Amino acid sequence: MGATPLGVLTLSDRKFCHDPHTGQTRRYSPEGLTMRLELVQMAARDGDSAYNLERVLRAIADSAPGSDIVMFPESSITGFLDHDNIARLAEPVDGASVQTICAAARQHDVAVVVGLIEREGERFYNTTLLITPEGVALTYRKTHLWVGEPGLVYPGDRFTTVQWRGVRIGLLICYDIEFPESACALAALGAQLILITDGNMEPYGHLHHTAVAARAQENQVFAAMVNRVGEGVGEVFAGGSSVVDPFGRRLFEAGAQESRHVVDLDLTQIAPSRALYDYRAEKRLKLAAAVTEHPDGRRELLIP
């Protein structure tokens, strides 16, 4: 059976202008610099990379005009794996599936946020990638493992951000957003936009409804979360994908069915959200870990 398409909601196009500071062609609204996110809330088949990859590629090809980033749920390439199949079905980040998505990102001039169960040597990780038209820009391994993951995958050991098209971006995965320190670490690394791939199921949907708004508001950043829908092995995924601005205001929230949505973020809203009070500057208890700057623009904070 072939993959089924998803519908798409598009918004009005923006004008394009040349940014003399970065040398890039950027999209501007009348209010200032924007970034266009496309959230693809979808079901997946656990352990069926061929089916899932076909749907991901079709969604990228069908992305709305002017989309900067197309986002998918947690582990959307491989689906979730278990002790019986992980050694056989986990994929390396430089494997065929990721390379195919890299080619699609390049062809359609969009960035793609997509996840998989990663194999590196004899170890496995729950990993999300930020793939730009230039290739894999950011690799993030889930640092907080949900019930059933310890002993199956290893936790990641760092938080990382990268700047792309003038916006510094960080990644989180599902359970990570229930820990305030995760988003705080990304904010300490300069994140303006936190992108969360999610595989949250009922009866816990309300937890991430609250958490994504809290993480955006307390760090005064934009946060976008894309969740899975449909049935898994003994569970029903909650959907409810959403985008929250730096004031903690919810810009959009999806239902519990497959859907896709386009949201334009006005990045100039970050400065006024911090004008009267800046939580990052005023907090008394700060993260102790040192920030590492890489030549390619990545910033990393290792977990002690």
Tell me the catalytic residues. Answer: 74, 142, 174
Q: Taking a C-beta distance cutoff of 8 angstroms, is the pair 177, 212 a contact?
A: yes
Question: How would you write 140-172 as a 3-class SS string?
Answer: EECCCCCCCCECCEECCCEEEEEEECCEEEEEE
CA dihedral of 48, 53, 54, 56, whole degrees rounded to 10: 130
* Residue bearing tokens 């003399």: 20
Dist CA 40 CA 247 (whole Å): 24
Whether the Cβ atoms of residue 3 and residue 54 lie closer than 8 Å to each other:
yes
Contact 113, 129 (CB under 8 A): yes
Q: Which long-range contacts (CB under 8 A, 24 or more apart) does 206-210 make?
A: 207/178, 208/174, 208/177, 208/178, 208/238, 208/240, 209/240, 209/242, 209/253
How far is Cα of residue 189 from the mean position of the Cα atoms in its chain? 16
Max CA pair span of the chain? 56
Tokens at residue 298, please? 């990545």
